[in-house]
Amino acid sequence: EAGVTQFPSHSVIEKGQTVTLRCDPISGHDNLYWYRRVMGKEIKFLLHFVKESKQDESGMPNNRFLAERTGGTYSTLKVQPAELEDSGVYFCASSQDTNNYGYTFGSGTRLTVV
Amino acid sequence: QQQVKQSPQSLIVQKGGISIINCAYENTAFDYFPWYQQFPGKGPALLIAIRPDVSEKKEGRFTISFNKSAKQFSLHIMDSQPGDSATYFCAASRRTGGTYKYIFGTGTRLKVLA
């Protein structure tokens, strides 16, 4: 079984530019989560999709962040325009159903805004 | 407001020694407490987890001790090995509106000396 795949693994962009992160969950996993870790701090919840619907987006920092999951398969997280404080590692995770406590995380995308 | 406090931030242990990482939480509604292990360049991977109705769970060399009254839980790694060198995150979770949202600690970087 393929794991959760994230692209790109690293991205360096200038302040004000746009970046799109992609996550391919494990096939058949309806639940997809985005988390972010700012350097040295805790991993923080951003949002949760069930299939193509946003179940909870309470952790999204502001309206510069837009997450989509068209067709209930892969998801994208767009940051536009990027700010310095957006730097960090963005993790995607998936799980089979909402009664499953255990997530499978991807390797993350390290975003650096300069 | 950080709801899960993790200590220490870093830990150095000799091979064969015991590694102990502690976490404290605030919200008594949490009902699932996992530990994640993360190697450089990889995503967090579920190591072991416990629910608040038991005081201890052991899997191989890894043990979670849980103190519900003190709202604390800890990870013990017995006979620590250099391959255990990684960052460890504790987390707490409860179901809220159909989402199992994790609240993570800030992580402990463990180094086991050969």
Residues of chain B in contact with residue A96, where contact means CB-CB under 8 angstroms, are: none
Chain A positions touching B104 (Cβ under 8 A) are 35, 42-44
CB contact under 8 A, A42 and B32: no
3-state secondary structure of A71: helix
What pLDDT does residue B24 have? 98
What confidence score (pLDDT) does residue B98 get? 72
| Ranges of chain A whose pLDDT falls below 50 | none
Q: How far is A47 from chain B (nearest CA, A)?
A: 9
Residue in A with minimal Cα distance to B39: A107
pLDDT above 70 covers what percent of chain A? 95
- Confidence class for position B99, pLDDT limits 50, 70, 90: confident
Interval B21-50 mean pLDDT: 94
**B40 in contact with A at a CB cutoff of 8 Å?**
no
Average pLDDT, chain B: 94
